Amino acid sequence: MINQTIIDNGIRIITEQIPVAHSVSLGAWVTTGSRYEDAALSGISHFVEHMYFKGTEQRSARQIALEIDAVGGLLNAFTSHEYCCYYAKVLSHNLPLATDLISDILLNSVFSLDDIEKERRVILNEIAMVEDTPDDQVHELFSQMFWQGNSLGQPILGSRDSVSRFSRASILEFVKEAYCGNNLMITAAGNLEHQAVVDQVAERFAKVKPGRKPASVKAPEYRGGVDVRKRQLEQVHVCLGTKGLPQSHPDRFVIYFLNTILGGSMSSRLFQAIREERGLAYSIYSYLHSHSDAGALIVYAGTPPEDAYDVVALILRELHETSHSLVPDEEFAAAREQLKGNLLLSLESTENRMTRLAKNEIYLGKQPSIEESIDGIDKVTPEDVRTLASELFHDKYLTLQMLGTPDDADFSILDLTVNE
């Protein structure tokens, strides 16, 4: 059973009761992230997320860790382009502790100058780690190119320059603006009582002011293009992507099929054609990035320099095939069962159920039932997939980012047209 309550300061509380579960997962979701940041503050959402674990007026960082570890629980956080989430997973009778820990770090963190400087060094090292990991860096380069001119292209970690400039005053001002009731949602799933969660949240978050939602952001434009970033590496890292769909798009189930068939698993077309049949790559897959008003479908491969051109050509061949021919019935049925299986298996985790509550509210503004999601999968046809592929796999959207030293082939004149 799913219930929802909005308390006086604007905090929205959504719970799902799962009586057979031993655990409860609780998350605090804040409408902030790299997309809402000015260039000068790029990375501040992620920086603040780190700072919330550095100690409060009541607890040191070590005490926070000891308290959650003492009950066998999990306490963590992450930052995305459009939200930050602080979450805990505990046995159901320890839910008050989880609520207390999350409220304490969000409302009573100290943000000492010493901790800010230490965490600045940590995050600068995190940025350096990405730069030293080419199969991470190529995705950042692709994002910057694909979303160029839009804040979606800003790295979640920020840049060396922006992170180096954050002051305690700018951090506190950001927290004051972003961490308010109208920007905060609490979701919880597991063996719980809705009213008990509401009472705990209302008590512990009582001093949060309503505040304002972030200003609307500009929708991105899609330009396409090719960029080869030269770097002496053993492999060439390839990201080839195209326009995707927003999270709430009516065809979102169709693009789930498209991604699954192309590169979503070991039985997918790209994995079979490039790794299994030809041995041209160890890592080859596709994935979706979906936001409130935009999206991308991206293919990644890591391959020897001498094989880079062939790998890109094979990816384009599969895109062409998918956009021109219907997926055979047997392959389509397998993709359908895979999507339904993935969905249903994910629901065995209270953490996934908690996340599903939040994302449905953020992007759909409602809570579709599991049956509605299954029905959405069942309604997709091979013709739907071919039609969407022909719309998305267009040269005005296709973007190729490479990192490494591919052989002498001129990728700048590579024909990315697949829909003719």
Catalytic residue IDs: 49
In the three-class reduction of DSSP (H, G, I as helix; E, B as strand; rest coil), residue 23 is classed as: strand
Q: How far is CA 16 from the centre of its chain?
A: 22
DSSP letters for 114-128:
HHHHHHHHHHHHHHH
For residue 1, count other CB atoms closer than 10 A to its CB.
8
Identify each DSSP E strand in 153-291 by its residue range.
Answer: 184-190, 225-230, 236-243, 284-290
Helix (H) or strand (E) holding 163: helix 160-165
Q: How far apart are CA 233 and CA 304, in angstroms?
A: 9
What pairing do the DSSP bridges indicate for beta strands 236-243 and 399-404?
antiparallel
Q: How far apart are CA 295 and CA 247, in angstroms?
A: 8
Q: How far apart are CA 191 and CA 417, in angstroms?
A: 52
What pairing do the DSSP bridges indicate for beta strands 23-30 and 74-79?
unpaired
Q: How far apart are CA 249 and CA 294, in angstroms?
A: 9
In the three-class reduction of DSSP (H, G, I as helix; E, B as strand; rest coil), residue 225 is classed as: strand
Q: How far apart are CA 34 and CA 49, in angstroms?
A: 12
What pairing do the DSSP bridges indicate for beta strands 399-404 and 225-230?
parallel
Is there a contact between 68 and 75 (Cβ–Cβ < 8 Å)?
A: yes
Sign of the CA dihedral running 128, 134, 135, 141: positive
C-alpha distances out from residue 108 to 43, 65, 116, 205, 223, Å? 22, 16, 15, 11, 44
Residue 203 identity: E
Among 59, 141, 131, CA closest to 102: 59
At 228, list the tokens. 């080869």
